[in-house]
Structure formats: C-alpha cells, structure tokens
Amino acid sequence: KRQPQDEITDAFAGLCLPVGADRRLLRRLHASAQVEHRNLALPLERYAKLDGFGAANSVFIDTAVDLGAEAIDAALTAAGLTPRDVDLIMFTSVTGIAAPSVDARLAVRLGMRPDLKRIPVFGLGCVAGAAGLARLHDYLLGHPGDVAVLLSVELCSLTVQREDASVANLVAGALFGDGAAAVVVRGDQAAGGRGQGPQIVATRSRLYPDSGGVMGWDVRDTGFRVVLDASVPDVVRAYLAEDVHGFLADHGLTAADITAWVCHPGGPKVLEAVAETLRLPPGALEVTWRSLAAIGNLSSASVLHVLHDTLRLRPPPPPGTAGLLIAMGPGFCAELVLLRW
C-alpha cells in the first residue's frame, strides 16, 4: 500500500521508540531522507502485531511470490515472451529467506519449464540489481541463444526492529521501502531478436578493502537488524571515481560520453557523494532523485526501477550512445554495467 512519509513517521515512532520518547530526531531523519511516499507490504497498523522474525518472514514469502509473479508477468508480456521461453531465472532479495526459494515457487506458479535453471541470491543487498544484470550478461555470453530473467523483491519494512531507537534503525525506517522489479535479458542469438531496451556491453565488480562493517545485517532472534555506518558517502568518495573513469577508459569512453546515468538511490548523502566525486553535470541524477522521492530506496530493486524510469520518463538517449548503471552495497562493493542504447 502506498503511504505518505509523514504517516510512516508517526507509525514507526510508536514501533521503534519507547513510550514518551522525544520524537524530534526521528522526524528530522525522516524529513532529511527526502522520501515523500513509500509502498509497504502491510497496512501500517499490522507492523506492531508481527510477532518476531518467523511471522515477518512468512509475510515476506507470501508477498514476494505474489509481487514476483506480477513483475515477471509484466516483464515477459512487454518482451513478447511467455514463462516457458525463460531458460534461467535469478532471484535476489536481502529482506527474507525461503526454502524452497521464491524462484522455485514462482516457476511452479507461472508454469515455467521443468529444465529451468535457477539462481537464488542472498546477501548482495542494494548492489544486487546491478550485480544481477552483470551475472546474467556473463551467463548469456556462454549461452547466447537463451533468455534470462532477473527478479528482485525487497520488503524492507518487514526488517524494521521494534523498540530499537538506534540511529541506523531510524534511518532505515526513514529511507527504505518495499517493491519488486523484473528484467528480461536476451542473448545475442535468442529467438525474437534484440528487445527494446539497452544492450549490456560490459561489467565491472569492485570489492573495497576494510569496509565489511559499513553496511549489512546483524542477524538476531528478532530478525535482520540493519548495519548502516555514516561513512558510506566517504567510501564512495574514496573509490568510485577511479573505478568509473578506469572502466570507461578501458572501453574508449569518458564521463562526457555517458548520455544516461542509471544510479541506485542510496540516499541523499550518497547521491551527493556520487555526483560530487564523478563531477556530474546538474540534472544527471534527476531520475534517481525522483525515484527516491516517489518510492524510497528499494534495496536491490531500486536501480532496476531507475532503469525503467530512464526509459519511460525522459527522451530516449541517442541510439548507439553509452549509459552507465551503478549500484553499491554490502561488502562494501560496487557494480558497474556499461549500456549501449
């Protein structure tokens, strides 16, 4: 359900703060997130009734299967394909767990072929939308006649910790939303030819030193307690520019050649760090800022929504020009995906 930020603020104050606690810090954090609306898996009044990790995870499984089916159906329809055309599905989430995995449940529900290859991925967090596209690209280089689907479902609201007034929990409760995204990726020799979206040209992965404690989960009896250090923008400033410029240079490009920047909406301070360190022109991350305001940070699904909005909301980049898709996440790490429109 779509909720305005101020209603979420009031509900999460009752959920996270002790009775009678000063709510000014929480309200300030929610306002500074620059999120105006978010979609939530449950009505606001139901979060206080979730009794522990098991209850939240049961909601995750049921909702992820429903949202995943809807997202895959829409993506395949747009590509002119059916579930039986899919050769591989990769499912990524960092907000719930399931065995059988969500992709297995969806394969049965959607009537996919019994020889479908499946790759469920957990732990990549916000970077997984970009990493998923990169790994599907790797797979399709070896299987150019195949069709692959990347599905991300993130229900971040189910991980908010009750009676936890830590800054990390309050920031997560201000920034992260719920949602799903599915992308169809065709090999160069797949039946039906190239789709309407951009072509993946190349990818690069980066794992940064001494940064394992910057972002992730502290797994407790109450579920996933967020680890979110204030140094994330500093890590971005320290490493991202060298990685991006080096990657582009290896393909004969500079930042000036990029006609669309598809960036994960990690939060205002992270986006400011990205724009500053890459010296991006004004408006280069406009689609990302718009996504942050409209739906918040959806972890791995967000950069896929930004890609969709880039194709839907702005004039198409000139054919043959380059785009760059960027996401960062736990590790601390980054994934770069070079696109050609």
Stretch 128-157: mean pLDDT: 97
Q: What is the pLDDT of residues 216-231, one digit of tens each?
A: 888 888 888 888 888 8
CATH superfamily membership of 199-340: Thiolase/Chalcone synthase (3.40.47.10)
**Distance, CA of 149 to CA of 139 (rounded, Å):** 11
pLDDT at 165: 80
What number is the average pLDDT over the span 54-80? 96
Q: pLDDT per residue over 237-287, tens digit each?
A: 999 999 999 999 999 999 999 999 999 999 999 999 999 999 999 999 999
Which residues, in sequence order, are bridge partners of residue 200?
Answer: 339
Domain spans in the chain, listed from the N-terminal domain onward: 2-186, 199-340
Mean of the pLDDT values across residues 188-212? Answer: 86
Number of helices and strands (H, E) in the chain? 10, 12
Q: Which one is catalytic: 16, 126, 263, 333?
A: 126
Give the per-residue pLDDT at 166: 84
C-alpha to C-alpha distance for 35 and 230, rounded to whole angstroms: 18
**pLDDT for residue 14 is more than 90:** no
Question: Of the given ranges (47-56, 173-182, 242-251, 294-303), which has the lowest mean pLDDT?
Answer: 47-56
Residue 162 — φ and ψ, nearest 5°? -75, 145
Asked if residue 104 has pLDDT above 70, the reply is yes
pLDDT at 223: 87
| Domains 2-186 and 199-340 are alike in CATH topology | yes
Q: How far is Cα 47 from Cα 265, in angstroms, rounded to an integer?
A: 25
Superfamily of domain 2-186: Thiolase/Chalcone synthase (3.40.47.10)
Q: What is the rounded distance in angstroms from the CA atom of residue 4 to the CA atom of residue 231?
A: 28
Query: pLDDT, tens digit, for every residue of 19-57?
Result: 777 788 888 888 888 999 999 999 988 998 888 899 999
Among 244, 267, 280, 277, which Cα is nearest to 329's? 267
Q: How far apart are the first and last CA of the chain?
A: 34
Please state the φ and ψ torsions of residue 284, each to the nearest 5 degrees.
-65, -30
pLDDT score recorded for residue 193: 62
126 is catalytic: yes
Would you say residue 149 has pLDDT above 90? yes
